Structure 1
Amino acid sequence: MEDFNNWIHQGGLVEMRSKGNNYSWCNGQSGLARSWAKLDRVFMDVPLFSSFLNAICSYLPRTTSDHSPMVIEFKMDPFSYGPSPFRFQQMWVDHPQFLYCIRQVWSETVVGQGLSKLAMKLKKTKVALREWNKHIFGHTTKHINALERHIEELDHKLHINWDEATERDLLISAAELDIWIRREDTRLSQMAKIKWQMEGDRNTKFFHACLANKRRKRVMDMRCSNDADSNILCSVPTLNEVFSALSSIPSNSAPGPDGFGL
Structure 2
Amino acid sequence: MERIQQLVWRVDGFRQVVEECELRDLGFTGSRFTWERHRNTRNWVCERLDRVLTTSQWVLLFPKAQVHHLEVANSDHSALFLSLGVSVIRYAPVPFRFENAWLKEIDIEEAVLEAWSCGREKPIGNRIAICGNFLKE
**Which structure has the higher relative contact order (CA within 8 Å, separation 6+)?**
1
Size of the alignment, in residue pairs? 76
Q: Find the partner of 2:60 among 38, 47, 50.
A: 50
Q: Structure 1 length normalisation: TM-score?
A: 0.28
Moved runs in structure 1, 4+ residues, more than 4 A?
Answer: none
Distance in 2 separating the partners of 1:28 and 1:54: 36
Deviation at 1:54, TM superposition (A): 2.1
SS at match of 1:2: helix
How far residue 49 of structure 1 moved from its aligned partner, in angstroms, is 1.3
Deviation at 1:25, TM superposition (A): 0.7
| 1:51 Cα offset (Å) | 1.0
The alignment status of 1:9 with 2:52, answered yes or no, reads: no
Report the structure, 1 or 2, having the larger strand content.
2
**Does structure 2 conserve the Cα–Cα contact (< 8 Å) formed by 1:17 and 1:55?**
no
Deviations along 1:131-162, one digit per CA (max 9) or x if unpaired, are: xxxxxxxxxxxxxxxxxxxxxxxxxxxxxxxx
Query: Using the alignment, how far apart are the partners of 1:73 and 1:29 within structure 2?
Result: 29
**Deviation at 1:55?**
1.0
**Residue from 33, 46, 51 that aligns with 1:36:** 46
* 1:62 Cα offset (Å): 2.9
Greater share of residues in helix: 1
- Alignment partners' CA distance in 1, 2:30 and 2:22: 26
Partner of 2:36: 26
Residue type of the partner of 2:84?
A: F
Q: Deviations over 1:184-239 (max 9, x none)?
A: xxxxxxxxxxxxxxxxxxxxxxxxxxxxxxxxxxxxxxxxxxxxxxxxxxxxxxxx
Residue type of the partner of 2:65?
A
C-alpha displacement at 1:29, in angstroms?
4.1
3-state SS of the aligned residue for 2:81? strand
1:71 to 71, 81, 84: 81
Structure 2 counterparts to residues 70-89 of structure 1, below 5 A: 70-75=80-85
Q: Deviations over 1:114-145 (max 9, x none)?
A: xxxxxxxxxxxxxxxxxxxxxxxxxxxxxxxx
Unaligned runs of 5+ in 1: 77-262
Report the TM-score when normalising by structure 2. Answer: 0.51
CA RMSD of aligned residues (A): 1.4
Amino acid at match of 1:17: G
**For residues 14 and 6 of structure 1, what CA distance do their matches in structure 2 show?**
13
Instruction: Give 2:82's aligned amino acid.
Output: I
1:61 aligns with 2:44: no
